[in-house]
Copies of this chain bind each other. A is one copy, B any other.
């Protein structure tokens, strides 16, 4: 018994034909060959009794021409075509006439002389925009229209490359982890129980048990710890994660991360494994050589120098603490705050004095950015050609020559530079100057795009003070191990957690895990979870930690951010 083969339908019916190859892969090597190619009409013009078209598939385009005398039917069929029709073309590959050779594309030496042409699917609607091969037409089309007709937008070669980039990155990751390091890919459930992480869970009502809910996982967190307790040793997953947060440009309700958990691996090995992976991806996918090893910055140093735990180091613009300069100065805005325990930090913008007029500094974009960051104003000074300073009069007059020189030296400020200040508690000062630093760098185009800033940020505090809840909370999450050195004073301990930062974006990280019940319980207590609550929420984990949990280490990489 064999199935009935589909017969060739009459015109306009469904038909499936075989290709001999792809449009964009034909070349001079194929001259004289009979081919059948399928694709979309990308260009269509009549010229001197002949009709030309470009046929496009995902591999590229090839020129098709007609032979009106030898193959009048094919010629007539080609004349009926319109842009984006789906067609099958059968014919002989031949050299293009010298005047139409295009050396820029692979198929530019040849064309296909059509002998048989079938319309597989016509276009009956008026298309809202042209499918161009490059990015050229993009700017003319609104984002909403491109998204509304995404199936057209994605036909462009550029969009095809964007979408397939993920595929190529993941392929390199799999090779590295599976073939070089023996990792096993394991799928963990999507319909699961709520896990305690930073964001809101998406909930799925259960039909079978009314009133109960599944939660979509914010990460495979607990599952992967259980896998380590089960002895799986080296797990990875390209894991879908869900966070019910308000949409932002860099936050989507669902996203995908590379998720790794390893047993019996020490810290430096984990960092090296991640570095090597990222170096390999950048080299193989983008041809970029990243440093070996990656530079490292402690959290404290990153905050001090950049006001941020994810600094973009493609440009300098480092923050300087100038509290001592103003400690006894007469500028009350600063000195009052300093006396009550605050700090003053400065950001020196090279040649910024000419770029930003005094008016701009008092109500322009930079000023608005300062206000948005929570600052009450934007104190500034400009260094004049003669080495004098100008700016807010009370600020200028508060500095004698000695203090002024100390300030300029501290900021490495030269004539023509602009110095911006922030004052207050360290958190808000850093927050303000981080934003101003990014804003200025963006506006002045300071980032050298041929440079790549990649680094580890290390030694995060385990806990930070949540002022509105009046309690300590975990900076990463409460399963991160404290540095064993800090066990005596756990609430101020550093965490064995590491963030990987690329061009100012956190693209991944890793941490050692708490793997002993006793330590886990202490940490939960510090973030205000009572033993009873811990038992109710994490009883399963605590029990597992007591049943032979190995030392574990996790790492993760965002797949959407790079």
**Is A524 part of the binding interface, using a Cβ–Cβ cutoff of 8 Å?**
no
**Is A137 part of the binding interface, using a Cβ–Cβ cutoff of 8 Å?**
no
**Is A463 part of the binding interface, using a Cβ–Cβ cutoff of 8 Å?**
no
- Partner of A547 from the list B127, B200, B240, B515 (CB cut-off 8 Å) is B127
Query: Do residues B296 and A123 form an inter-chain contact, with CB atoms below 8 A?
Result: no
Query: Do residues A546 and B124 form an inter-chain contact, with CB atoms below 8 A?
Result: yes
- Partner of A231 from the list B12, B154, B481 (CB cut-off 8 Å) is B154
| Closest chain B CB from A160 CB (angstroms) | 7
**Is A514 part of the binding interface, using a Cβ–Cβ cutoff of 8 Å?**
yes
Query: Do residues A163 and B516 form an inter-chain contact, with CB atoms below 8 A?
Result: no
Query: Do residues A202 and B208 form an inter-chain contact, with CB atoms below 8 A?
Result: no
| Closest chain B CB from A521 CB (angstroms) | 12
- Partner of A13 from the list B1, B3, B154, B487 (CB cut-off 8 Å) is B487
**Is A9 part of the binding interface, using a Cβ–Cβ cutoff of 8 Å?**
yes
Mask, A518-562, CB within 8 Å of B = 1, is: 110000000000000000000000011111111101000000000
B residues less than 8 Å from A163 (CB atoms): 184, 186, 232
Give complex CA distance A296, B3 in Å.
Answer: 7
Mask, A250-277, CB within 8 Å of B = 1, is: 0001101000000111111100000000
Q: How many residues of A contact B (CB 8 A)?
A: 119
Query: Do residues B485 and A550 form an inter-chain contact, with CB atoms below 8 A?
Result: no
Given A40-B548, A125-B543, A546-B124: A150 touches B226 (CB 8 Å cut-off): yes
Query: Among the interface residues A120, A149, A298, which one has the most CB atoms of the partner chain B within 10 A?
Result: A120
Give complex CA distance A545, B244 in Å.
Answer: 34
Query: Do residues A485 and B3 form an inter-chain contact, with CB atoms below 8 A?
Result: no
Query: Do residues A184 and B167 form an inter-chain contact, with CB atoms below 8 A?
Result: yes
Query: Do residues B498 and A3 form an inter-chain contact, with CB atoms below 8 A?
Result: yes
**Is A19 part of the binding interface, using a Cβ–Cβ cutoff of 8 Å?**
yes
B residues less than 8 Å from A498 (CB atoms): 3
B residues less than 8 Å from A269 (CB atoms): 18
**Is A345 part of the binding interface, using a Cβ–Cβ cutoff of 8 Å?**
no
Please report which residues of chain A, range 193-220, place their CB below 8 angstroms from some CB of chain B when the two chains form the complex.
200, 202-205, 207-208, 214, 216
| Closest chain B CB from A239 CB (angstroms) | 11
| Closest chain B CB from A219 CB (angstroms) | 14
Query: Do residues A57 and B232 form an inter-chain contact, with CB atoms below 8 A?
Result: no
Given A3-B298, A186-B167: A544 touches B13 (CB 8 Å cut-off): no
| Closest chain B CB from A423 CB (angstroms) | 27
Query: Do residues A548 and B86 form an inter-chain contact, with CB atoms below 8 A?
Result: yes
15 contacts between A and B (CB under 8 A): A7-B484, A12-B516, A14-B514, A15-B551, A16-B264, A18-B266, A38-B263, A40-B548, A86-B551, A121-B551, A123-B547, A152-B230, A163-B186, A164-B186, A167-B184
B residues less than 8 Å from A263 (CB atoms): 38
Q: Which residue of B lies closest to A551 (CB)?
A: B16
One of A170-178, A359-367, A372-380, A384-392 contacting the partner: A170-178
B residues less than 8 Å from A328 (CB atoms): none
- Partner of A548 from the list B123, B550, B551 (CB cut-off 8 Å) is B123
B residues less than 8 Å from A56 (CB atoms): 231
Query: Do residues A240 and B190 form an inter-chain contact, with CB atoms below 8 A?
Result: yes
**Is A483 part of the binding interface, using a Cβ–Cβ cutoff of 8 Å?**
yes
B residues less than 8 Å from A115 (CB atoms): none
Query: Do residues B551 and A266 form an inter-chain contact, with CB atoms below 8 A?
Result: no
